[in-house]
């Protein structure tokens, strides 16, 4: 090969880099390769599905005390902390009306609660008809969903007095980027060596022996690169809400627009033996990536429908589109690829509502915060139906994360950055219909050591449950049950008295 030909090939490969970065090809691991599929279903399959609510969900309008509208009730304390009920005459109020809240009665709680009015049952329609789905109120009352209360990054248990005295706390509190990073890595400080990897990736790596069989990475994202899924030697396999992003106009079997000819040239280039290690590694990676993408796309879009679900997901909802793909991936991963453990990541937002939490004249469920929560309710509700269709409700646990809770008091039309928040957990393996952790008293600037209720002047609550306790409980269910393994995954876990929060069966 002449120097001119060699340089031409190099330029061609360099130009391809930009194309691959825009598609799915660059996201695939070099070691991924789909082996011949065994068709028996894996009975030991388990998956975690993280629904990340980007921008910081206002968790105290998501789950609200609803004991009584009378003076002195927990609900009235909530109303007071939030500046009153939002109305045309009180546009700065952030509280929801008592009668708008959807009633739930958590087991073991002396106080009744309510969910945001967006969490009702609903129907989704398509050209094939209409299908009814359960909303989060129904799923909670049926014992399928639970909330874990006042969770956030911590280095160790800390009271308000301890905070004021300078005891260790996570860095850069109230910063979106920093707190999202800490949620993703599941450790309270960025300098910890394990923070190079996400806790989902660390869990997937720890139980990697259980994932061997398909060759597919056990960490899968529909929301681009996600630190949450990165492990030691492990990178996430990336999809989109549409499925696999195959390389356009390079089909080996398509004669239109010279696709087959292009593919033949590309295959020839990728099949060359290159002397430079980078060139050879790049060519090998792209070649395997193309093979994986095409094989996986074929499974998801098989003519017999084996890679699809009949569940009707709501349209115009990006979270629903992502969870639709996740349901299909779970189906083929378990049934065709013989995967045993997987961790998924989806993302939806933005919840950073410094203003516009309510919209004057708008419906509670169709505008502001309510519009976002309606999309979450409908996406998760349809996903639950799909899991029932494929018989995976006991094998899949869905949970939310969000960088922090928000201030109880408003700023005029929204809420600001805070610390502890409430997270949802859903699945047949969940001890549903309950609240875990400690739900705050919702008092501004509180310092009650007896109730472990600590807040700052605008109701920024100090978490009483650490992200590591939350994550470790899910990791144990996935199979990381050995104490030394859990301590390696979550190095601060030993600082907390409760290692397992008990929300998983």
pLDDT in tens, 253-310: 777 778 888 888 988 898 888 999 999 988 887 877 787 778 889 999 999 999 999 9
Is residue 463 a part of any domain in this protein?
yes
Contact 192, 186 (CB under 8 A): no
**In this structure, is the dihedral angle defined by the CA atoms of residues 156, 157, 160 and 161, taken in order, positive or negative?**
negative
Residue 411 CA: distances (Å) to CA of 82, 415, 417, 442, 458? 10, 6, 11, 17, 10
Q: How far apart are CA 399 and CA 48, in angstroms?
A: 8
Q: Is residue 22 pLDDT above 80, yes or no?
A: no
Is residue 503 a part of any domain in this protein?
no
Q: What is the largest CA-CA distance in the chain?
A: 87
Is residue 76 a part of any domain in this protein?
yes
* Its pTM surpasses 0.95: no
Q: How far apart are CA 195 and CA 203, in angstroms?
A: 13
231 has which bridge partners? 234
Is residue 501 a part of any domain in this protein?
no
Least confidently predicted of 33-37, 282-286, 443-447: 33-37
Q: Is residue 356 pLDDT above 50, yes or no?
A: yes
Helices (runs of H) and strands (runs of E) counted in the chain: 12, 16
pLDDT value at residue 26? 33
pLDDT value at residue 128? 86
Contact 173, 185 (CB under 8 A): no
pLDDT value at residue 245? 83
Cβ neighbours for 204, distance < 8 A, ≥ 6 positions apart: 211, 218, 219, 229, 231, 234, 341, 342, 343
Is residue 444 a part of any domain in this protein?
yes
Is residue 500 a part of any domain in this protein?
no
pLDDT value at residue 20? 36
pLDDT value at residue 288? 73
The total of structural domains in the chain comes to 1
C-alpha gyration radius of the chain: 24
pLDDT value at residue 497? 94
Identify the CA nearest to 149 among candidates 434, 370, 432, 497: 434
Is residue 287 a part of any domain in this protein?
yes
Is residue 244 a part of any domain in this protein?
yes
Contact 209, 180 (CB under 8 A): no
- Which range marks the domain in which residue 282 is found? 3-495
The pair of three-digit structure tokens given for residue 231, joined into one six-digit string? 């492990």
């Amino acid at each position: 090969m002449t120097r001119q030909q060699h340089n031409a090939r190099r330029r061609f490969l360099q130009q391809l880099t930009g194309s691959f970065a825009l598609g799915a090809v660059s996201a695939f691991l070099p070691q991924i390769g789909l082996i011949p599929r065994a068709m028996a279903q894996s009975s030991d399959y388990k998956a975690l599905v993280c629904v990340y609510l980007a921008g910081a969900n206002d968790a105290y309008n998501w789950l609200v005390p609803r004991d009584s509208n009378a003076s002195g009730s927990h609900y009235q304390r909530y109303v007071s902390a939030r500046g009153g009920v939002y109305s045309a005459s009180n546009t700065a109020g952030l509280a929801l009306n008592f009668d708008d809240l959807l009633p739930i009665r958590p087991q073991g709680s002396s106080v009744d609660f309510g969910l945001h009015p967006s969490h009702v049952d609903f129907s989704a329609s398509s050209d094939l008809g209409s299908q009814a789905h359960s909303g989060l109120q129904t799923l909670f009352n049926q014992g399928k969903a639970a909330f874990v209360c006042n969770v956030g990054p911590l280095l160790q248990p800390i009271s308000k007095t301890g905070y004021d005295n300078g005891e260790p706390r996570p860095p850069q509190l109230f910063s979106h980027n920093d707190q999202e990073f800490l949620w993703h890595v599941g450790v309270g400080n960025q300098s910890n060596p394990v923070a190079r990897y996400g806790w989902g990736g660390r869990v997937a790596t720890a139980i990697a022996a259980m994932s061997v069989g398909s060759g597919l990475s056990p960490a899968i994202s529909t929301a681009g690169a996600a630190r949450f899924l990165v492990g030691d030697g492990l990178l996430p396999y990336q999809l989109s809400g549409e499925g696999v992003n195959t390389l356009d106009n390079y089909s080996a079997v398509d004669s239109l627009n010279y696709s087959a000819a292009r593919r033949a040239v590309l295959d020839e280039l990728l099949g060359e033996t290159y002397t430079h290690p980078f060139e050879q590694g790049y060519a090998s990676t792209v070649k395997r990536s193309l093979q994986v993408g095409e094989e996986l796309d074929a499974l998801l879009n098989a003519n017999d429908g084996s890679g699809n679900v009949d569940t009707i997901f709501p349209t115009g909802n990006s979270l629903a589109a992502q969870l639709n793909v996740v349901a299909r991936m779970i189906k083929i991963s378990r049934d065709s690829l013989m995967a045993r453990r997987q961790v998924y990541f989806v993302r939806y937002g933005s919840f950073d509502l410094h203003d516009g939490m309510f919209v004057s004249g708008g419906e509670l469920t169709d505008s502001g915060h309510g519009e976002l929560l309606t999309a979450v309710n409908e996406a998760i509700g349809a996903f639950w139906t799909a899991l029932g269709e494929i018989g995976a409700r006991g094998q899949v646990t869905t949970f939310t994360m969000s960088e922090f809770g928000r201030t109880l008091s408003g700023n005029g039309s929204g809420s600001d950055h805070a610390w502890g928040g409430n997270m949802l957990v859903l699945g047949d393996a969940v001890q549903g219909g309950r609240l875990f952790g400690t739900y705050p008293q919702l008092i501004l600037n509180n310092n009650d050591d007896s109730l472990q209720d600590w807040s700052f002047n605008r109701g920024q609550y100090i978490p009483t449950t650490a992200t590591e306790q939350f994550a470790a409980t899910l990791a144990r269910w996935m199979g990381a049950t050995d104490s030394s393994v859990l301590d390696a995954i979550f190095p601060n876990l030993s600082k907390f008295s409760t290692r397992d929060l008990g929300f998983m069966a």
